[in-house]
A and B are shown apart, each in its own frame.
Chain A
């Protein structure tokens, strides 16, 4: 549905959708303001809902912690003081993948096995380099947060990824990685290499390329993990299913430009492939209302051309360079109108492009309230 002309047509409020759920997933490509939206909605939710709210950010944005007036470190959920707030609390946590992996291992393995895994040189750095390791660690962390039953609502600020499914598919990928029959074939029962000519060739290749000592650690790592992975996969699969279930809402954040919205379309397609849809789209950085007004566009055009300007000659000449900018931004607003009309969602909320983006709790809370309640701006 195209927004009516003359206004940027905010917005169904998102609060109604959020209030009925216990999980909220915020997705989108990099640089679109996911973390700001997550924090704002978290603040609004803590004000509106009966029960505590947790925002988990997987993107390490230290500025967010600063804006919320807190110090976040090492996976601990930290209470965010909200001015005037009496009933519910907001907690924020930032995923630190290393300790999150450690916690998962310690939950699943016996103390001796856990210690051997944690001391393995391959393990020590795998969380940083393993494909989708962060997604997986986030699911493990979420599992613990859900199990604690401390939170009425958990908001997940997802990592920027090419594909939203990466997040949901992380357990399957981990399972595939560790459960590969190829690796079983290589590591055998006692951690030594077994098999015929192919395995021997492999061992000699691995020794040659990586060095024998490192290769021994690789083998030990896979062997130890084989006992731990099934339990981890079971837990995280359950969380991934929760995130895709009826108790979860799925919001996308996007910028109002065609290339970013194209990425959103791909995201929508991958969601559709597992019967999910966006419950809402937040478009961040839409030109403010004044640039959507055809009267402003018209006057600006006349001032630039210096024909039929409604202003004095002096004022027209002085305003002309600024008016040129205004004409350009009115055209951009028109293009944004088309972008908004083509979005793959029925619930659309917009955030105007602000001169100063919110940098403190008050600013974020104000933004959150607007997103929660919607706006009835009419011009």
Chain B
């Protein structure tokens, strides 16, 4: 089973880690494999869904073969939900729906529940083989994933609470729903990922499907060459030109960066269960087509 063999993949991570590029890449891979795929941006910006040349809206739009995109917000989801519940009300419908939206926005967890409810609804609709969500950053995402249970506990008798049961079940089935955390091989992002994984486990019904370490440096040198290089750097040729001396300094910086990153990467690996996939996406230079490069790197890592 690859991480794509599910119904719902929720992509989260700290801001600045490249979460949207990873979400877009996973959705495109699924579409390339022939899966009818829906990519949802739910982080308050066009995000991943905006990377395919169309402006995402509240309704799904087909952006390319097998790939539709959608952008949702809690407010719009709330209105949609209330509209469904109210049915035809004629002239009084709109003020009632507005007032209800105001009240429900104040109710703990309700707007989060409706966001997650929307992901879940799309995932079980049968319209899609896979729904990929470019979700909110880590803290908010935990709140969203915990919302169905919390709302059930706070307002246990209402219809909304009865609606939460199936959402909790769908989120909690690891064959159906997986959470992907995107991180960087740097101190702070990795600490936050380890914390996120822990809290995902204790505070929400959802399961981790994979961790993506973005912008990694592949090891430049095998161990033997590395030793030789260290000697060369320590004992530099004399009378180097300014450019050549600079090259030695620059290579040294590159090696140091690679060492720090691999130590942090090892810390992440140790903190995760052995069977948990950790996918590495390299850092691309200034000229790379990022989406295609990320997609190909992830495909390699998943051996697709």
A208-B159, A211-B158 in contact; A202/B96 too (CB < 8 A)?
Answer: yes
Q: Which residue of B lies closest to A197 (CB)?
A: B92
Q: How large is the interface on A (under 10, 10 to 19, 20 to 34, 35 or more residues)?
A: 35 or more
Partner of A221, one of B106, B217, B287: B106
**How far in angstroms is the closest Cβ of chain B from A46?**
24
Name, among A177, A328, A355, the residue most crowded by chain B CB atoms within 10 Å (CB to CB): A355
Contacts of B82 on A, CB cut-off 8 Å?
205
Which residues of chain B from 149 to 195 have a CB within 8 Å of any chain A CB? 154-161, 186-189, 191
Is B237's beta carbon under 8 Å from chain A? yes
* CB–CB A198/B92 < 8 A: yes
A189-201 interface code vs B (CB 8 A; 1 in, 0 out) = 0000000011001
* CB–CB B107/A122 < 8 A: yes
Is B244's beta carbon under 8 Å from chain A? yes
- Complex Cα–Cα for A313 and B140 (A): 55
- Complex Cα–Cα for A183 and B101 (A): 11
Contacts of B134 on A, CB cut-off 8 Å?
none
Name, among A121, A126, A209, the residue most crowded by chain B CB atoms within 10 Å (CB to CB): A209
* CB–CB A323/B155 < 8 A: no
- Complex Cα–Cα for A202 and B14 (A): 39
A290-B250, A310-B244, A319-B232 in contact; A129/B109 too (CB < 8 A)?
Answer: yes
Is B275's beta carbon under 8 Å from chain A? no
Binds A, one of B2-10, B201-209, B251-259: B251-259
Contacts of B103 on A, CB cut-off 8 Å?
183, 186, 206, 210, 215, 218, 222
* CB–CB A205/B44 < 8 A: no
Contacts of B188 on A, CB cut-off 8 Å?
63, 357
Contacts of A180 on B, CB cut-off 8 Å?
102
Which residues of chain A from 313 to 371 have a CB within 8 Å of any chain B CB? 315, 318-319, 321-326, 328-329, 331-332, 334-335, 355-357, 359
Binds A, one of B25-33, B220-228, B265-273, B296-304: B220-228
* CB–CB A311/B244 < 8 A: yes
* CB–CB A121/B154 < 8 A: yes
- Complex Cα–Cα for A222 and B99 (A): 12
- Complex Cα–Cα for A58 and B172 (A): 32
Is B85's beta carbon under 8 Å from chain A? yes
B254-289 interface code vs A (CB 8 A; 1 in, 0 out) = 111100100000000000000000000000011100
A214-B155, A325-B254 in contact; A183/B102 too (CB < 8 A)?
Answer: yes
Name, among B100, B225, B229, the residue most crowded by chain A CB atoms within 10 Å (CB to CB): B100
- Complex Cα–Cα for A318 and B230 (A): 10
Q: Which residue of A lies closest to B151 (CB)?
A: A210
Q: Which residue of B lies closest to A291 (CB)?
A: B250
Name, among B191, B248, B253, the residue most crowded by chain A CB atoms within 10 Å (CB to CB): B253
* CB–CB B155/A326 < 8 A: no
Q: Which residue of A lies closest to B236 (CB)?
A: A315
* CB–CB B243/A209 < 8 A: no
* CB–CB B250/A319 < 8 A: no
Contacts of B251 on A, CB cut-off 8 Å?
319, 322-323, 325-326
Partner of A210, one of B158, B254, B285: B158
Is A300's beta carbon under 8 Å from chain B? yes
* CB–CB A122/B260 < 8 A: no
**How far in angstroms is the closest Cβ of chain B from A262?**
11
Is A296's beta carbon under 8 Å from chain B? yes
B83-117 interface code vs A (CB 8 A; 1 in, 0 out) = 00110010010011011101111111111100000
A-B interface pairs (CB < 8 A), number = 197
**How far in angstroms is the closest Cβ of chain B from A182?**
5
Contacts of B217 on A, CB cut-off 8 Å?
325
Binds B, one of A12-20, A28-36, A98-106, A270-278: A28-36
Partner of A128, one of B108, B156, B241: B108
Is A295's beta carbon under 8 Å from chain B? yes
- Complex Cα–Cα for A29 and B45 (A): 12
Is A160's beta carbon under 8 Å from chain B? yes
* CB–CB A331/B237 < 8 A: no
- Complex Cα–Cα for A205 and B158 (A): 10
- Complex Cα–Cα for A185 and B237 (A): 84
A198-B96, A298-B243, A325-B220 in contact; A311/B260 too (CB < 8 A)?
Answer: no
Is A312's beta carbon under 8 Å from chain B? yes
Is A70's beta carbon under 8 Å from chain B? no
- Complex Cα–Cα for A355 and B186 (A): 10
* CB–CB B229/A332 < 8 A: no
A-B contact pairs, 26 of them (CB 8 A): A29-B16, A30-B14, A31-B17, A125-B109, A126-B106, A129-B107, A162-B45, A183-B103, A209-B100, A210-B103, A210-B110, A211-B156, A214-B158, A222-B103, A293-B243, A298-B243, A310-B240, A318-B228, A319-B248, A319-B251, A322-B251, A322-B255, A326-B247, A326-B254, A329-B250, A332-B285
Residues in A lying within 8 Å of B, measured CB to CB:
29-32, 63, 121-122, 125-126, 128-131, 160, 162, 177, 180, 182-183, 185-186, 197-198, 201-202, 205-215, 218, 221-222, 255, 260, 288, 290-291, 293, 295-296, 298-300, 303, 310-312, 315, 318-319, 321-326, 328-329, 331-332, 334-335, 355-357, 359
Given contacts A162-B44, A312-B237, A325-B251, list 6 more A-B pairs with CB under 8 A.
A129-B108, A129-B112, A212-B157, A214-B158, A321-B220, A321-B221
Residues in B lying within 8 Å of A, measured CB to CB:
14-17, 44-45, 82, 85-86, 89, 92, 95-96, 98-100, 102-112, 137, 143, 154-161, 186-189, 191, 217, 220-221, 225, 228-229, 232, 237, 240-244, 246-251, 253-257, 260, 285-287
